[in-house]
Amino acid sequence: MATTSAAPRVRPSAARTGQPRMAPGRWFSELGWRHLVGVLAVVFAMFPIVYVVSAALSEGGTLTGSNRLFGEVSGSNFSALGDSMFWTWLGNTLQIAIATGVGTVLMGAAAAYAFSRFRFRGRRAGLTALLVIQMFPQMLAFVAIFLLLIGLGNVMPVLGLNSKLALIAVYLGGALGVNTFLMYGFFNTVPRELDEAAKLDGATHAQIYWTIILRLVTPILAVVALLSFISTFGEFIIARLVLQSERNWTVAVGLYGWVSSLLEANWGLFAAGAVISAVPVLLLFLFLQKYIVGGLTAGSVKG
Amino acid sequence: MSTQSTLDDTSTAAGDGDAPGRPRRRRRSPGTPHASGTVGGLVAKLVLMAVVNAFGVFAILAAWNEESYGILAAMVALLVAADWVYFSRRTLPLKYVLPGLAFLLVFQVYVVAYTGWVAFTNYGDGHNSTKEHAIEALLVQNERRVEGSATYPITVLERDGELGFAVVDEDGDVRVGTAEEPLAPVDGATLDGGTVTAVPGAELLDRRQVLERQDEVTTLRVPFSDDPEDGSIRTQDARTGYVSTSTLEHDAEADTMTDVTTGTVYSPSDDGWFVSPDGERLNVGWRVAVGFDNFSTAFGDSRYAGPFLKILAWTFAFAILSVVTTFLLGLFLAITFNDTRLGGRRIYRTLLIFPYAIPGFLAALLWSGMLNRSYGFVNQVLLGGADVPWLTDPWLAKLSVLLVNLWLGFPYMFLICTGALQSLPGDVMEAAKVDGAGRWRTWRSVTLPLLLVATTPLLISSFAFNFNNFTLIYMLTNGGPRFADASVPLGHTDILISMVYSVSGLDGTAAKNYGLASALSIVIFAIVATISAITFKRTKQFEEIS
């Protein structure tokens, strides 16, 4: 965590004082080329995004018609989304991603608390087992997940194929494996003296957990919830298998359907849908950049 | 813990780690720190456990009804465990671990184990179920009307939303059945001159209704009894039913199927089919364990082995090149912007992060349109109307996949390299300068090694991620262009995970072959596990477990 957030910042005013005195040649070899590289990199990074925004705003919905950047600006693609299932899909995606994010945080944090604060038989073995299990991406077992849900669906349709609840349950199956370690490390940084003091004051373990520990580890909870939200948002392979009727699809499944079938005709619609569904994730990302990157790094690099 | 023993009842109360207990905890009462929370917690716990138990019992009963004994056993075990954990005083850590653990066991550990089992069977199209089911399906599929067999007067009816027949048998009794339930006598039916006029609990269809549902009626098959060999009743005109019996006969003792019309005897084979002496087989088989056959198919069968080896090589090339290209570009940019005198660094950084914040599936779909050969933005606008087959030429498609992944991945590498560069210890750099090292020398001998130490674990996990980057491949090229010589739908940019998806047949493009797909999954598991094991050795993550 500390790696990125503790980046040294030099005040811009101090940085700029040296600049005007540089000779042009020296300026270019020291700084100018950096701007050149920066502009090129920004163009590379941004042109697809500019293009998709332009395509979303174009009048016609075809791929060819989208090639003139901002040739015409109209909201027709966005209003056409209203006639499609897009908003249903977006609603499904948000439901699934939010439920998974919340569930992941609750279960992961509880497990991390147990591993971090209690000493019990099988603790080491449990941690090692989690470490081993997290090596196996759940996605690889999609055939078995599909077959399992067929079986479960015979008994309880609500947990079978074509159920959003079943998909959430499948995603929650990955909650402990991936996140417990991230959280465990962070929980360990909260001094034990705090809980011991609270315990002396008569607090129960549950009170310590809910009122002391969870408040101190909020940053990592936010990171885990976000990472879980974002990865669920974009998950395709299991969602595609589980959610079979169009009404239950997520955005990833639905937009894929638009593009893979009749690519030409649906392009404007896809572009509009892409812009709308990218916005929430993009905003989360830009505002919480520092935490996310910190969280990513904290997983493996010891700060 | 021992000081707490008197509080144990209260401490278990809210210890179930679930959401509803939470708001109550927020209420603060400084004088009595646990009194109010305990009551609220206890209520929350009892309510939650009641819900869990209700759901568990419901699931157990449902599993009993469906005769799914595996699910039954699992549900009983989970329910007993939940009750034990939350009502015992000696299971404190488990109270926190159990919810996640239950999901983990069912949806991760079990499915991985199940994958392992399926990999050693021939599960798939033609081998979908057990032998009993296969025999039943064969008997039903081969039913023919027996010439000169008995006909019965029937009436079409609807019971509990399902179509069925009411049949008057030889003794004048009325028997009713549907597609799911075999014919069984009913009491209280009224007869009028040999036709049924009313059946309790069911609604008779009149002429018009029958015509409306003609297709359903003529395809309806009502089993005569529980034994599939007794055949079934069908009808053409909704008035007379005739008996169809199977042309196949199952001899339970010899475990053979006999075709009664030709007299051919089919005996079970090791690979889950009924086969006649001259090699003809019946079209429904059953699951059998096939040992390492699926693995030898992957590595040895000419239909799969060629594509498999090419795909394996490309998977490694793709994953390694993706990591290398994104890392190099990210590192280069990080160095470029790591000069504090540079104005506008924040703007550059924010703009460069954009691709990383776009969900991967959107980016892949977007690029698949932009790289379209005839209409795409890249050919039409950037290259001024060129006709470059970005996604349809084998090598260009590979290049495109790498390019798109570079676009998607370099911001991440840029971020972590920036972080690593900024946290380099200043004194070491100072020491290098004092020792007279030049810029290049400092960079090569001090900066780069330190940077690599910090980023290697992330590079390895990035490798593991790309190794299974299904979304990118599936959405961008769908594995294409296809191998010209392969009979299976696989292509030049397929990676192992997308090959598993194609082979499994779950997308409907090929015959389902769960066995082979699972075997390939196991191969990927093995590769990923090896790589992860190396990671652990390097990062010594195990040391953290103390």
Domain with B86, as residue range(s), is 2-15+29-118
**What pLDDT, on a 0 to 100 scale, did the predictor assign at position A21?**
63
Residue B519 in this model has a pLDDT that exceeds 50: yes
Alpha helices in B164-212 (DSSP H): 207-212
Return the DSSP state at A73. -
- Same domain assignment for residues A133 and A265: yes
**What pLDDT, on a 0 to 100 scale, did the predictor assign at position B303?**
81
- Mean pLDDT, residues B484-498: 84
Domain-terminating residue out of A26, A49, A79: A79
Alpha helices in B274-393 (DSSP H): 293-300, 302-336, 345-357, 360-370, 377
Residue B319 in this model has a pLDDT that exceeds 90: yes
Of residues B217 and B333, the one with the higher pLDDT is: B333
Scan for tokens 């941690």, then name that residue.
A127
* CB contact A16 to B (< 8 Å): yes
- Same domain assignment for residues B140 and B106: no
Of B91, B59, B89, which is closest to residue B77 (Cα–Cα)?
Answer: B59
* Confidence class for position B198, pLDDT limits 50, 70, 90: confident
- Same domain assignment for residues A92 and A241: yes
B352 interaction partners in chain A (CB closer than 8 Å): 41-42, 45
Residue B542 in this model has a pLDDT that exceeds 60: no
**What pLDDT, on a 0 to 100 scale, did the predictor assign at position A17?**
46
> Domain containing A195 — which CATH number?
1.10.3720.10
Of A209, A262, A272, A252, which is closest to residue A92 (Cα–Cα)?
Answer: A252
Domain with A273, as residue range(s), is 83-298
For residue B328, being part of any structural domain is answered with yes
CA atoms of B499 and B476, how far apart (whole Å): 15
Record the tokens describing residue A219, joined without a space.
């940053």
Residue of A52, A93, A155 for testing the chain B interface, max B β-carbons within 10 Å: A155
Residue B294 in this model has a pLDDT that exceeds 50: yes
**Span A254-269, pLDDT tens digits:** 999 888 875 566 788 8
* Confidence class for position B37, pLDDT limits 50, 70, 90: low
Q: Do A30 and B412 touch (CB under 8 A)?
A: no
CA atoms of A63 and B440, how far apart (whole Å): 48
- Same domain assignment for residues A283 and A263: yes
Residue A107 in this model has a pLDDT that exceeds 90: yes
Q: Are B332 and B439 in contact (CB under 8 A)?
A: no
For residue A261, being part of any structural domain is answered with yes
For residue A9, being part of any structural domain is answered with no
Contacts of B473 (CB under 8 A, 6+ apart): B401, B479, B493, B494, B495, B497, B498
Residue B544 in this model has a pLDDT that exceeds 60: no
A221 interaction partners in chain B (CB closer than 8 Å): none
- Same domain assignment for residues B110 and B139: no
* CB contact A27 to B (< 8 Å): no
For residue A303, being part of any structural domain is answered with no
C-alpha separations of B244 from B141, B223, B239 in Å:
11, 9, 16
- Same domain assignment for residues A99 and A229: yes
- Beta strand pairing call for B265-268 and B274-275: antiparallel
Residue A62 in this model has a pLDDT that exceeds 90: no
Of B454, B458, B462, which is closest to residue B321 (Cα–Cα)?
Answer: B462
**What pLDDT, on a 0 to 100 scale, did the predictor assign at position A293?**
62
**What pLDDT, on a 0 to 100 scale, did the predictor assign at position B127?**
78
Angstroms from A228 CA to nearest CA on chain B: 13
* Confidence class for position B7, pLDDT limits 50, 70, 90: very low
Using CB atoms, pick whichever of A18, A180, A241 lies closest to residue B341: A18
Domain-terminating residue out of A31, A63, A79: A79
Q: Do B407 and A199 touch (CB under 8 A)?
A: no
Residue A110 in this model has a pLDDT that exceeds 90: yes
Q: Do A120 and B92 touch (CB under 8 A)?
A: yes
**Span B373-393, pLDDT tens digits:** 887 888 888 888 788 888 889
Dump strand ranges (E) for A59-157: none
Task: For chain B, give the mean pLDDT.
Answer: 81
- Same domain assignment for residues B101 and B187: no
Record the tokens describing residue A269, joined without a space.
């619609």
Scan for tokens 């349709």, then name that residue.
A157
- Mean pLDDT, residues B110-128: 86
Of residues A261 and B477, the one with the higher pLDDT is: B477
C-alpha separations of A36 from A16, A31, B307, B383, B435 in Å:
18, 9, 44, 22, 33
* Confidence class for position A243, pLDDT limits 50, 70, 90: very high
Angstroms from B10 CA to nearest CA on chain A: 8
Nearest CA in chain A to B513: A143
- Mean pLDDT, residues B242-261: 77
- Same domain assignment for residues B270 and B310: no
Model-level pTM?
A: 0.81
- Mean pLDDT, residues B442-447: 85
Of A194, A176, A184, A173, which is closest to residue A114 (Cα–Cα)?
Answer: A184
**Span A155-182, pLDDT tens digits:** 888 888 889 999 999 999 988 877 788 8
- Same domain assignment for residues A75 and A90: no
- Same domain assignment for residues B170 and B205: yes
Q: Are A111 and A105 in contact (CB under 8 A)?
A: no
* CB contact A20 to B (< 8 Å): no
**What pLDDT, on a 0 to 100 scale, did the predictor assign at position A262?**
59
Three-state DSSP at B365 gives helix
**What pLDDT, on a 0 to 100 scale, did the predictor assign at position A294?**
61
Of residues A3 and B315, the one with the higher pLDDT is: B315
Residue B540 in this model has a pLDDT that exceeds 80: no
A120 interaction partners in chain B (CB closer than 8 Å): 92-93
Residue B466 in this model has a pLDDT that exceeds 50: yes
